[in-house]
């Protein structure tokens, strides 16, 4: 029987939780015992020696990316950066250095063990302008137009709903904001079945988009100035690539997907995202909305 989207996401979460535990126990995030079979095309070897000097050992040990998005994102002092699928925090910590004390670097990850590791690494690095958020990259817990740059390192291929990821990246970037991603991308000639023959889903291979699919997905979300440049081979017909795109300055961000209020979550958003957006209702409005079964904000 084919895996459902939930099966795939659960497996990704379990494998990356195991990888985080391995690092906490003194190993590296790769590979045996985690279901993540990656080689030197991934990880800390893709960073410059000066990057290594800035980072706690466990941030490097947990590195499972396929590039160095901070090297291409051209971060500036004072900018707000969001890292989609931040893992052990390597790119958040590098971003935090680049944007300085007047800027901020957010990491977003769905795996509790990775978040715990990233927070420990941030404390070891003495980074005060970082915040790690629990959530999925398909429903980012930040308000619209709230970050200047979105980066991601070998995570979007793991998503079971890539159009939602691109839409959320677009929504949360300010107009004129930039996307700088490292990811695995397949040749346009490779079918999904051929991609899956070359590696597993949690190993960042089977879920890779082709070059045309990546470009089409970003265009559909509203991005412009899209550039996809392969950097190194990952497997036959699969490449690590740097993907850059821009949210046009004229863009109006779409509203986030409205949640249906229930007695348990009587707001149109949840948790930090709703609070940050100021979208939680006053108590009376919440009660009315739950009774009516409608949105309240
Ligand atoms: C290949 S690792 C990369 C981690 C980090 N970017 C790095 O370069 O080391 C993938 C990370 O993305 C997270 N992840 C995968 N799918 C996700 C999703 N749909 N939403 C949030 N996090 C996700 C995993 O928990 C894991 O920490």
- Which CATH number fits the domain that encloses residue 210? 3.40.50.150
Domain annotation covers residue 252: no
Which pLDDT score, from 0 to 100, does residue 36 have?
56
Mean per-residue pLDDT pooled into runs of 10, the chain (297 residues): 84 94 76 54 78 83 85 92 96 96 98 96 95 98 98 97 98 98 97 95 94 98 98 94 96 65 45 41 43 41
pTM of the predicted protein model:
0.83
Ligand 1 center from residue 263 Cα (angstroms): 31
Q: Where are the alpha helices (DSSP H) in the chain?
A: 5-24, 49-54, 57-61, 69-72, 90-99, 112-125, 162-172, 192-197, 211-221, 271-277, 283-292
Q: What are phi and psi of 197, to 5 degrees?
A: -65, -25
Ligand 1 pocket member 55 (CB < 6 A): no
Of ligand 1's listed atoms, the one at least distance from the Cα of 63 is 9
The answer to whether residues 160 and 282 belong to one domain is no
SS3 182: strand
Ligand 1 pocket member 159 (CB < 6 A): yes
Cα separation, 114 vs 90, whole angstroms: 11
Q: Which domain holds residue 268?
A: 258-297
Which pLDDT score, from 0 to 100, does residue 38 have?
57
Cα separation, 187 vs 242, whole angstroms: 14
Q: Under a CB-based contact definition with an 8 Å cutoff, are residues 62 and 31 in contact?
A: no
Which pLDDT score, from 0 to 100, does residue 37 have?
57
Ligand 1 pocket member 115 (CB < 6 A): no
The answer to whether residues 173 and 269 belong to one domain is no
Nearest CA to ligand 1 atom 10: 155
Which pLDDT score, from 0 to 100, does residue 52 have?
82
Number of domains in the chain: 2
Domain annotation covers residue 253: no
The answer to whether residues 180 and 289 belong to one domain is no
Ligand 1 pocket member 93 (CB < 6 A): no
Ligand 1 pocket member 36 (CB < 6 A): no
Q: In terms of C-beta density within 10 A (0-12 exposed, 13-18 middle, 19 or more buried), how is residue 237 classed?
A: middle
The answer to whether residues 269 and 134 belong to one domain is no
The answer to whether residues 127 and 13 belong to one domain is yes
Nearest CA to ligand 1 atom 25: 111
Q: Under a CB-based contact definition with an 8 Å cutoff, are residues 152 and 128 in contact?
A: no
Ligand 1 pocket member 47 (CB < 6 A): no
Cα separation, 164 vs 221, whole angstroms: 9
The answer to whether residues 157 and 271 belong to one domain is no
Of ligand 1's listed atoms, the one at least distance from the Cα of 159 is 19
Which pLDDT score, from 0 to 100, does residue 40 have?
63
The answer to whether residues 210 and 88 belong to one domain is yes
């Amino acid at each position: 029987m084919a895996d459902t989207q939930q099966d795939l996401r659960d497996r990704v979460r379990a494998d990356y939780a195991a990888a985080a535990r391995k690092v906490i126990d003194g190993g590296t995030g790769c590979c045996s015992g985690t279901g993540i079979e990656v080689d030197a095309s991934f990880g800390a070897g893709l960073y410059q020696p000066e990057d290594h000097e800035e980072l706690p050992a466990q941030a490097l040990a947990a590195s499972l990316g396929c590039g160095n998005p901070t090297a291409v994102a051209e971060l500036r002092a004072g900018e707000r950066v969001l890292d989609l699928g931040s893992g052990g925090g390597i790119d958040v910590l590098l971003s935090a250095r680049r944007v300085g004390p007047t800027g901020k670097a957010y990491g977003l990850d769905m795996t509790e063990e990775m978040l715990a590791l990233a927070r420990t690494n941030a404390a070891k690095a003495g980074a005060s302008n970082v915040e790690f958020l629990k959530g999925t990259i398909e429903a980012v817990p930040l308000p619209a137009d709230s970050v200047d740059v979105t980066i991601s390192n070998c995570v979007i291929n793991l998503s079971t709903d890539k159009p939602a990821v691109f839409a959320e990246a677009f929504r949360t970037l300010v107009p004129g904001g930039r996307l700088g991603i490292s990811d695995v991308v397949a040749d346009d000639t490779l079918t999904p079945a051929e991609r899956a023959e070359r590696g597993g889903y949690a190993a960042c291979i089977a879920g890779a988009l082709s070059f045309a699919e990546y470009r089409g997905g970003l265009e559909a979300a509203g991005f412009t100035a899209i550039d996809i440049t392969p950097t190194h081979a990952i497997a036959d017909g699969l490449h690590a690539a740097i993907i850059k795109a821009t949210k046009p300055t004229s863009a109006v961000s779409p509203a986030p997907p409205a949640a249906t209020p229930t007695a348990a979550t009587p707001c149109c958003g949840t948790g930090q995202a709703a609070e940050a957006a100021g979208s939680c209702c006053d108590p009376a409005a919440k009660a009315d909305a739950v009774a009516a079964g409608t949105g309240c904000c």
